[in-house]
Amino acid sequence: MGIPRGPSATLPAARPRARSSNLFKGKGDLSEPKVIPMKELIVLAYSGGLDTSVAIKWIQEKYGFDVVTMTLDLGQGSDFKLIEEKALKLGAVRHYSIDSKEEFANEYISRAIKANALYEGKYPLSTALSRPLISKKLVEIAWKEGAVGVAHGSTGKGNDQVRFEVTVRALDPSLRIIAPIREWGLSRHEEMEYARRHGIPLSEELGKTFSVDKNLWGRSVEGGPLEDPSVEPPEGAFEWTRAPWDAPDSPAYVEIGFDGGLPVSLNGERKGLVDLISELNALAGSHGVGRIDHLEDRLVGIKSREVYECPAALTIIEAHEDLEKAVLTRHELEFKQMVDSAWSRLVYNGLWVDPLREDLEGFIERTQERVSGIVKMKLYKGSASVVGRSSRFSLYDIGLATYGVETTFDQRLSEGFVEIWGLASKVANAVRRRASGTGA
Ligand code: ARG
Task: Name the residue of 209, 213, 308 to mutate for ligand 1: max ligand atoms within 8 A of Cβ.
Answer: 213
Longest dimension (CA), the chain: 108
Task: Name the residue of 125, 130, 159 to mutate for ligand 1: max ligand atoms within 8 A of Cβ.
Answer: 159
Question: Within this chain, do residues 128 and 168 fall inside the same structural domain, yes or no?
Answer: yes
Question: Within this chain, do residues 190 and 315 fall inside the same structural domain, yes or no?
Answer: no
Question: Within this chain, do residues 232 and 190 fall inside the same structural domain, yes or no?
Answer: no
User: Quick one: which H or E segment has residue 291?
Assistant: strand 291-297
For residue 96, the model assigns a pLDDT of 98
Does the beta carbon of 318 sit less than 6 angstroms from any atom of ligand 1? no
Closest residue by CA, ligand 1 atom 2: 127
Q: Which atom of ligand 1 is nearest to the CA of 119?
A: 12
- What is this structure's pTM? 0.90
pLDDT tops 90 at residue 281: yes
Average pLDDT of every residue of the chain: 92
CA of 148 to the centre of ligand 1 (A): 27
The domain boundary residue, chosen from 174, 208, 242: 208
Question: Within this chain, do residues 263 and 300 fall inside the same structural domain, yes or no?
Answer: yes
What is the three-class DSSP state of 390?
strand
Does the beta carbon of 211 sit less than 6 angstroms from any atom of ligand 1? yes
Q: Which atom of ligand 1 is nearest to the CA of 210?
A: 11
CA of 182 to the centre of ligand 1 (A): 15
Count other Cβ atoms within 10 Å, centred on residue 62: 15
**Who wins on pLDDT, 326 or 5?**
326
Q: pLDDT for 22-52, tens place per residue?
A: 344 344 455 555 555 689 999 999 999 999 9
In the structure, what pLDDT confidence band is assigned to residue 203 with cuts at 50, 70 and 90?
Answer: confident
Question: Within this chain, do residues 188 and 50 fall inside the same structural domain, yes or no?
Answer: yes
pLDDT tops 90 at residue 418: yes
CB 35 within 8 A of CB 22: yes
User: Which amino acid, residue 32?
Assistant: E
Domain around 269:
213-328+370-390
Q: pLDDT for 212-261, tens place per residue?
A: 999 999 999 999 999 999 999 999 999 999 999 999 999 999 999 999 99
Closest residue by CA, ligand 1 atom 1: 306
In the structure, what pLDDT confidence band is assigned to residue 205 with cuts at 50, 70 and 90?
Answer: confident
Question: Within this chain, do residues 93 and 181 fall inside the same structural domain, yes or no?
Answer: yes
Question: Within this chain, do residues 235 and 381 fall inside the same structural domain, yes or no?
Answer: yes
Q: Name, in order, each residue with C-beta under 8 angstroms of 17's C-beta and a sequence gap of 6 or more.
A: 3, 40, 146, 148
The angle subtended at Cα 196 by Cα 147 and Cα 148, nearest 5°, is 10
For residue 34, the model assigns a pLDDT of 58
Does the beta carbon of 306 sit less than 6 angstroms from any atom of ligand 1? yes
- Mean pLDDT lowest for which of 39-43, 352-356, 406-410? 406-410
Mean pLDDT over 112-119 rounds to 99
Mean pLDDT over 311-325 rounds to 98
Q: pLDDT for 47-100, tens place per residue?
A: 999 999 999 999 999 999 999 999 999 999 999 999 999 999 999 999 999 999
For residue 325, the model assigns a pLDDT of 98
Does the beta carbon of 151 sit less than 6 angstroms from any atom of ligand 1? no
The answer to whether residue 68 sits within a structural domain is yes
For residue 376, the model assigns a pLDDT of 98
Closest residue by CA, ligand 1 atom 4: 159
User: Which amino acid, residue 269?
Assistant: E
The domain boundary residue, chosen from 155, 189, 208: 208
What is the three-class DSSP state of 436?
helix
- Annotated catalytic residues are 51, 131, 160, 211
Count other Cβ atoms within 10 Å, centred on residue 347: 25
Looking at the structure of the chain, the number of domains it has is 2
pLDDT tops 50 at residue 119: yes
Q: Which atom of ligand 1 is nearest to the CA of 125?
A: 12
For residue 30, the model assigns a pLDDT of 54
Q: pLDDT for 181-202, tens place per residue?
A: 999 988 888 999 999 999 998 8
For residue 374, the model assigns a pLDDT of 98
CA 372 and chain centroid, separation: 25
Question: Within this chain, do residues 174 and 320 fall inside the same structural domain, yes or no?
Answer: no
The answer to whether residue 135 sits within a structural domain is yes
